[in-house]
Amino acid sequence: MNSMADKNEHDQPLILFNDVWKYYNDGSAGIAALRSVDFVLRKGELVAVWGPSGSGKSTLCNLAGLIDEPCRGELLFNGVPVSELTDSQRSEKRNQTIGLVFQRFNLVPVLSALENVMLPLQIRGLPYSRAQARAASVLDEVGLGGMLDNRPDKLSGGQQQRVAIARALVNNPLLIVADEPTANLDTENAEKIISLMKKTGRSRNATFLFSTHDERLLSHVKRRVRLQDGSITQDETHRDQ
């Protein structure tokens, strides 16, 4: 019985959108950022959500990352209906199980790379020495083991994004959501960040959902979901990745 239960839990989608709509108000008119979206993200996947500006990519990422909630439809996170969570419960689940990566990095400028990555662990109350050791290990994993003491202004854009990814990984989250993580990078560094996410996903069996408007990056990703005017128009899996 236990093996069957474990199998069912493993097969359960990490994220499930069922007929999800999201409106934003503009004066008296409601603007639909997402329209009747059905979407499943399974554990261990790396999925690129792509499309032009205003297509709904950031909205989908914000919903998947529990930053926002649907206006209509059903959203399940690891089998739990998000509509049944209070604001504080949603915030707690987000802090404990989701890592967030932003296009502007959002690093604290007066802190070193090591201290930036330690922050989520210290917020959780982990002893300083353990937080320091874990943060150093994750920074080494993303290729910055020799730059622990560097502040953000002493790092390139690609290196700063690696610090941000390390910070998102340090709590061992179920899901990492990255909204336009390569938008402020040149093509070479953007490709390196995508390759890093792929490598990290494989080594940790981590689940990555990231948005992009850059079609050049899609050749590096196995599953590609295209949004247009708030609706999913393509959901393709390429076996050669």
* Side chain identity at residue 128, one-letter code: Y
Round the average pLDDT of the chain to a whole number and report it: 89
What Rg value do the Cα atoms of the chain yield, rounded?
18
Its pTM stands at 0.88
Rounded-to-integer distance, Cα 14 and Cα 45, Å: 10
Which of 152, 95, 98 shows the shortest CA–CA distance to 124? Answer: 95
How does pLDDT run across 158-179, given as a tens digit for each residue?
999 999 999 999 999 999 999 9
Residue in the structure block whose two tokens are 């943060």: 135
Cross-strand bridge partners of residue 42: none
- Please say if the pLDDT value at position 217 is more than 90: no
Rounded-to-integer distance, Cα 50 and Cα 58, Å: 10
Give the pLDDT band of residue 9 (cuts 50, 70, 90). low
- Please say if the pLDDT value at position 210 is more than 60: yes
Determine the average pLDDT of the residues in 135-146.
95
What residue ranges do the domains of the chain occupy?
2-107+172-237
Which of 110, 109, 107 shows the shortest CA–CA distance to 120? Answer: 107
Give the pLDDT band of residue 27 (cuts 50, 70, 90). very low
At residue 29, the pLDDT reads: 58
How does pLDDT run across 50-103, given as a tens digit for each residue?
999 889 999 999 999 999 999 999 999 999 999 999 999 998 899 889 999 988
At residue 55, the pLDDT reads: 93
State whether residue 69 is helix, strand or coil: coil
Between β-strands 46-50 and 223-228, what pairing exists: parallel, antiparallel or unpaired? parallel
Structure tokens at 231: 């609706």
Percent of the chain with pLDDT over 90: 68
Rounded-to-integer distance, Cα 97 and Cα 82, Å: 14
At residue 215, the pLDDT reads: 82
Determine the average pLDDT of the residues in 15-24.
94
Query: Beta-strand (E) ranges in 42-174?
Result: 46-50, 72-77, 80-81, 98-102
Question: For 2-107+172-237, CATH number?
Answer: 3.40.50.300
Give the pLDDT band of residue 5 (cuts 50, 70, 90). very low
Determine the average pLDDT of the residues in 130-138.
96
State the sign of the Cα–Cα–Cα–Cα dihedral 62, 68, 74, 77: positive
- Please say if the pLDDT value at position 139 is more than 50: yes
Rounded-to-integer distance, Cα 196 and Cα 4, Å: 34
At residue 3, the pLDDT reads: 44
Give the pLDDT band of residue 216 (cuts 50, 70, 90). confident
At residue 7, the pLDDT reads: 45
